[in-house]
Amino acid sequence: MKKAFLLPILTVFCTFSVFSQQMVLKKGEIIENLPLNDSTENTFSLYLPKKFSMDKKWPLLMVIDTEGEEKSALSMFVMAAENEGYILAASKLSDTVSLTKNMLSTSKTIRKIADMLPLNINMLYAAGQDLGGQLASLVPILIKGVNGAISINASLANRELINMKESFHFITIVNKENYRYPYALTDAKLLDQYKFPNQVLLYDGNGEWPGVTYLEKAMQLFTLDAMSRKWIPRDSAYIEKAYQKDIRQLEQLNKIGDLLWAEQYMTEMMSMYRAMKNMDSLRSVQRDLRRSKEFKTMKRAESVAFLQESMLKEDYQFYMEEDLYAHNYDNLGWWNYQMAEIEKFIASDKPFKKQMGHRLKGFVNALAEDNISIEMTEEVVDENALAFLYMLKTILEPDNYDYYLKTISLSSKNDDFGTSLFYLEELLKKGFKDKEKLYNIEHTALFRIMPEFNEMVSKYLDDARYNIKTDEN
């Protein structure tokens, strides 16, 4: 493909001749719906840093999103990309198509950008969150030339696909309260055995998104690795600045008394800098920390929490499978009790118990949602199993109105109006106010004209749409 560059105004934008049309690539903003080929069906989004120029080669980070929100996904990485000097791109992917099609689209996007822009072909990476993070972990395995992935709150998608002879750099950013945290630690041990470069970046709190600092750190790790491999010139000032920032972070962790996190952070620092700095001093500090009584006490408490968490997860998996197979609605009381126990963990003043509680809550919710997805994709949907899962989700997420509405709909479809009425009242007790939505629940035409339905609506929302009277004779 012929390139036509307008060099005099390159500081504002780059222009390319594509399919006999002009494509204007503005710097500093996300450009959507760029065509992959003559068809407009396959498109991608692109972000060029404000400092972008055609006279140097740039690293590329492919952001993986399957929810149809490429612009939103890219926007989360923009500030980090600006600070670390990365081009961002996102293919239009979907969770309703095959993995092969999504990977082909990602591969074509990389090739397209390589034809358009000066890329450092050794610095091609992928990144994503949750499902996108799992898919991102597959990109360096399935697409030749991609050398690393950033996975946010997600584990390796498939360990069996990893080729020990084709190393890639894997960075996990994970919340210690996310149920995937133990899996991230297991992934790191596996990759250490394979001698793959990898780091686990931990963050605290209950937020799903780690924040720009962690995204910058992940990109920085790729850059440091590239310097150590001589893919780019070594920048001593850049290395020292990054190292001193990590030392300050380590000091902060020691100051707040999180010795386990501090020890883990030192491990990651040594993996980052050992090719460029003498790490003997830091290694000695880590050795002394590991020998301390306080550290050993914390390590023991975390191990106990991990063991208890593992046992409870096995129970949840076993009983959910059993309840689905038997349509065991009577066991919803047991699940209600389990959630009460999980809430006790979350309320604990012991940090490892609290973190475990949050992880267990996330795990059982994800387990239920996975089973809902499985049931919905069956050729013949088991509506009794689906009803159980919807009811279970009202216990697991009592403030999520959607599952009350789904339960009412499915129960009404099967003429189980007693169950529909029960979940209608539970929904209204939770403060649901959308009367229009109530009167448009699928499969509830008969239920909506029943006196019991309208009496319930009148009780909680003052006024019902229908005033049904029964004949006494």
Q: Do residues 446 and 453 touch, judged by C-beta distance below 8 A?
A: no
Mean pLDDT taken over the chain: 91
pLDDT tens track for 224-283? 999 999 999 999 999 999 999 999 999 999 999 999 999 999 999 999 999 899 999 999
What integer is the mean pLDDT of 8-29? 54
Supply the pLDDT for residue 432: 95
Q: Is the pLDDT of residue 15 over 70?
A: no
Query: What is the CATH topology of the domain spanning 44-234?
Result: Rossmann fold (3.40.50)
Q: For residue 440, what are the CA distances in angstroms to 91, 101, 376, 408?
A: 36, 37, 22, 11
- The alpha-carbon radius of gyration of the chain (Å, integer) is 27
pLDDT recorded at residue 464: 65
Burial, 57: exposed, middle or buried (Cβ in 10 Å; 0-12, 13-18, 19+)? middle
Of 401, 400, 379, 375, the C-alpha closest to 388 is 375
Contact call for residues 438 and 457 (beta carbons, < 8 A): yes
Least confident span in 3-12, 70-79, 187-196, 199-208: 3-12
Contact indicator for 110, 132 with CB cutoff of 8 Å: no
Q: What is the pLDDT of residue 36?
A: 84
- pLDDT-based confidence at 38, cuts 50/70/90? low
Question: For the segment 323-364, what is each residue's pLDDT rounded down to a tens digit?
Answer: 999 999 999 999 999 999 999 999 999 999 999 999 999 999
Give the Cα separation of 389 and 379 in Å (integer). Answer: 18
Beta 58-64 vs 198-203: how paired, if at all?
A: unpaired
Give CATH 3.40.50.1820 domain extents, the chain: 44-234
Question: 109-163: per-residue pLDDT in tens?
Answer: 999 999 999 999 999 999 999 999 999 999 999 999 999 999 999 999 999 999 9
Give the pLDDT confidence score for residue 282 in this predicted structure.
95
Residue 322, pLDDT above cutoff 80:
yes
- Please tell me the distance from the alpha carbon of residue 229 to that of residue 273, in angstroms, as a whole number: 12
Taking the C-alpha atoms of residue 453 and residue 449, their distance in angstroms, rounded to an integer, is 7
